[in-house]
Amino acid sequence: MKLAHFSDIHVTRFPLSQGFALKRLAAVASFTGMGRGRDFAGSDERIAKLLSDVDELGVDHALCTGDLTGVSGDEELTRCAQLFGHRLREPSRFTVIPGNHDRYVSSQAGAFEKHFGALCEGGRFPFVKRLGPGVTLVAIDVCRPTSLVDSSGLVGKAQLDALAQILTDRSLSTQFVVLALHYGLLRSDGSRDKRSHGMRDDLALMALVDRADVTVDVVLHGHMHRPYSVRTARRTVFNAGSGTDLHVACGYNVYTVDAERFTLRCERRAWSRVTQRYEAAPESPLNLQVRTREPD
Ligand SMILES: [Fe+2]
C-alpha cells in the first residue's frame, strides 16, 4: 500500500489578526523578525497543490502529522479546512493529527477537533486505525498550549500507559504498524531535542517504542521543518519536514509498504519553485528502502 506523509503545512495569518493572546504577541517576532511570514507566504496555494498531488498519485492513505496553522487562529483553521474540502469527509483516506501550533493558546481548546475531528477520531487519542490490508496506524497527541518561551510537548502518563497497552496487544504483531505523532523522538544527528522544543517525556516514549514486546515498524512525525530519517535503538523514524516552508527544501514523503515482507520504500516529493508544483526528488537522501523486521 502507498501512504503519503506530510506535515507542518502552516496556513499562516498575521498572529494578532487571529485574536489577542500573549503567546500570539510573541509569535509576531518570528512572523516579522525571523521571516516566518515570508517563508509561509502563499502556503495556502502550496497546500492546495500538495493535496492535489497526493490525489493524483492515487495513494491509499494520506497522513498529516500536525501544524496545519500558525497560531491556531479561527481564520487559519477555517481556511485549512476549506483547502481539505471533501477530504474532511473521507477518514478512510485521510488522517490529520494536531501539532503544537494547532494547540497554541488554551482559549482555542477543541477548535482543531471542530474542523478536523472527523480525520482524528474526534480527538480521542491514542487511536488505532486500519489503513489497508496488514497496515495499522497508531496516533498520539503530544501537543498542548505552553508558556511564551516554551514549545515543548508531553505524552503524559495516561497516554503512555494507553499506548503501551495498544502496542503490546498481540493482534498488532502481524500488522505493519505505523506510529504517528507531531514531535520527533530524535534530531537528525541522533541527539535529543532541546528541553523547550522537544517532548518533556521523550525518553519514556523512546524506551516504550524500543521495547522488544512492542510492535512498531516505523515512526512518522514532523515539527522540525527540515526532513530527515533517523534510527532509535530498534526503529526507523521519518520526519516529513514542512510541506510548505520556503526556508527549507519543503515537500512530503510517499511510502510504499509491503506488509508481508515488512519493507518500506520512501520516495520524496519536493516543491519546485520553477514549475510551482510538487515533483519527484530523486536526489533526496530520504529516498530509502528499509526492512523493519524479519518476516516469520
Ligand atoms: Fe511547524
Residue 243 alpha carbon to ligand 1 centre in Å: 10
Q: What percent of the chain has pLDDT over 70?
A: 99
Residue 93 alpha carbon to ligand 1 centre in Å: 23
Read off the pLDDT of each residue in 150-174 and give the average, rounded to a whole number.
97
Q: Which domain holds residue 29?
A: 2-291
Is the preceding peptide bond at 126 cis, omega within 30 degrees of 0? yes
Check pLDDT > 70 for residue 295.
Answer: no
Tell me, yes or no, whether 50 lies in a domain.
Answer: yes
Residue 69 alpha carbon to ligand 1 centre in Å: 8
Tell me, yes or no, whether 99 lies in a domain.
Answer: yes
Tell me, yes or no, whether 296 lies in a domain.
Answer: no
Query: Contact 175/259 with Cβ under 8 angstroms?
Result: yes
User: What domain count does the chain have?
Assistant: 1
Residue 173 alpha carbon to ligand 1 centre in Å: 32
Check pLDDT > 90 for residue 294.
Answer: no
Read off the pLDDT of each residue in 116-125 and give the average, rounded to a whole number.
98
Residue 240 alpha carbon to ligand 1 centre in Å: 11
Tell me, yes or no, whether 213 lies in a domain.
Answer: yes
pLDDT at 43: 97
Grid coordinates given for 53? 498531488
Residues whose CB is less than 8 angstroms from the CB of residue 61 and which lie 6 or more positions away in sequence, other chains included: 1, 2, 3, 4, 92, 93, 94, 95, 131, 132, 137
Query: Residue 257: which of 214, 221, 291, 209 has the closest Cα?
Result: 291
Lowest mean pLDDT among 3-12, 29-38, 178-187, 232-241: 29-38
Mean pLDDT across the chain, nearest whole number? 96
CA dihedral sign, ordered 208, 209, 210, 214? positive
Read off the pLDDT of each residue in 270-287 and give the average, rounded to a whole number.
98
What CATH number is associated with residue 94?
3.60.21.10
Q: Is 20 exposed, middle or buried (0-12, 13-18, 19+ CB in 10 A)?
A: exposed
Tell me, yes or no, whether 128 lies in a domain.
Answer: yes
Check pLDDT > 80 for residue 90.
Answer: yes
Residue 133 alpha carbon to ligand 1 centre in Å: 31
Separation CA 14–CA 276 (nearest Å): 24
Residue 67 alpha carbon to ligand 1 centre in Å: 5
Q: Is the pTM of this model over 0.85?
A: yes
Tell me, yes or no, whether 23 lies in a domain.
Answer: yes
Grid coordinates given for 108? 482555542
pLDDT at 88: 98
Residue 65 alpha carbon to ligand 1 centre in Å: 10
Tell me, yes or no, whether 69 lies in a domain.
Answer: yes
- Per DSSP, the three-state class of 189 is coil
Tell me, yes or no, whether 54 lies in a domain.
Answer: yes
How many helices (H) and strands (E) would you count in the chain?
A: 7, 13
